[in-house]
Amino acid sequence: MAGRGDGAAAGRVVRDRTKGGATPGRPGKGTRGPWQRKPRRQPALAGLGWLLGLLLMAGGAAGCWAVAGGIGYAARVAGTPGLLTVERCEVHTTTSGRTSHYTVCGGTFRSDDGRVTVPASFDHSSRPTGSTIPVQYHDGGLSTVGVLPVAGRLCALALALLAVLGGGLLLVGGTVAALPATATWFERVLWTRRTRRLVQAAALGCGGAAALAGLVSLIALAAGG
């Protein structure tokens, strides 16, 4: 009888100690452990995330705007195709910051259908007088055409899109660092498994496109454009 009474008393003691969810090495509900502490705001990390995110997104958006329009001209699907007959090439020197040299070739542009004949010039490597260069005429200017300019612009566009994506992720990270309470909501509502897969696919797609276009550019450059 005494042994049975001692066992029941010991059972009550164990139950009392574990009441509230306490386990060895972990406090119960009435005690706040380090894993239960409220996450702290990190203003320095948030500011850095916002700054880098805005810079990346602004730079990427500007790059997309500057590059995307020229792809159509380089691929000869926009503008007026024709030939520039070189009449002169001049080397110009700039001294802003550091000395650099660039060549401007000028001559007469004639469209393939013969409807447009205008004097024109554009930056290019030096060409012999009388040689012809395939170009695309648009808005009073000329754009080079061929594999090299198309691949180069596609590579730049893919990198610009990757910068926009990375900037967006940094902005979100900065917001979570500034407002830790939004982290759970963000992960539950926005950062779902499907969203993560889409972001990963977009990043891999942009990176792969940039690498492939860069490789094609190098091959075209080695082959002479």
Same domain? 102 vs 175:
no
Same domain? 150 vs 210:
yes
In a domain, 67, yes or no: yes
* pLDDT tops 60 at residue 207: yes
| pLDDT value at residue 186 | 76
Same domain? 103 vs 208:
no
Give me the residue label for tokens 């203003």.
Answer: 43
* pLDDT tens per residue across span 82-104: 998 888 877 767 766 676 776 77
For residue 119, give its domain range: 78-145
Question: Where a domain ends, among 145, 164, 184?
Answer: 145
Same domain? 137 vs 158:
no
212-220: average pLDDT:
92
Same domain? 56 vs 137:
no
| pLDDT value at residue 4 | 53
| pLDDT value at residue 58 | 94
Task: Give the helix, strand, coil percentages of the chain, each rounded to 5.
Answer: 55, 20, 25
Which ranges constitute the DSSP H helices of 75-192?
A: 147-178, 182-185
Tokens of residue 210, six digits: 């940039």
Same domain? 71 vs 177:
yes
* pLDDT tops 80 at residue 117: yes
Question: Where a domain ends, among 121, 145, 169?
Answer: 145
Same domain? 154 vs 202:
yes
Same domain? 158 vs 49:
yes
| pLDDT value at residue 154 | 94
For the chain, the domain total comes to: 2
Question: Where a domain ends, among 145, 169, 201?
Answer: 145
Same domain? 118 vs 176:
no
Same domain? 132 vs 155:
no
* pLDDT tens per residue across span 24-36: 545 555 444 444 4
Closest C-alpha to 108, from 80, 88, 128, 79? 88
58-83: average pLDDT:
90
The least confident of 4-8, 127-131, 197-201 is 4-8
In a domain, 20, yes or no: no
Same domain? 97 vs 196:
no
Tokens of residue 39, six digits: 């996450």
* pLDDT tens per residue across span 134-184: 888 888 788 888 898 899 999 999 999 999 999 988 888 888 887 777 777
Same domain? 195 vs 139:
no
In a domain, 5, yes or no: no
Question: Cα separation of 97 and 203, whole Å?
Answer: 36
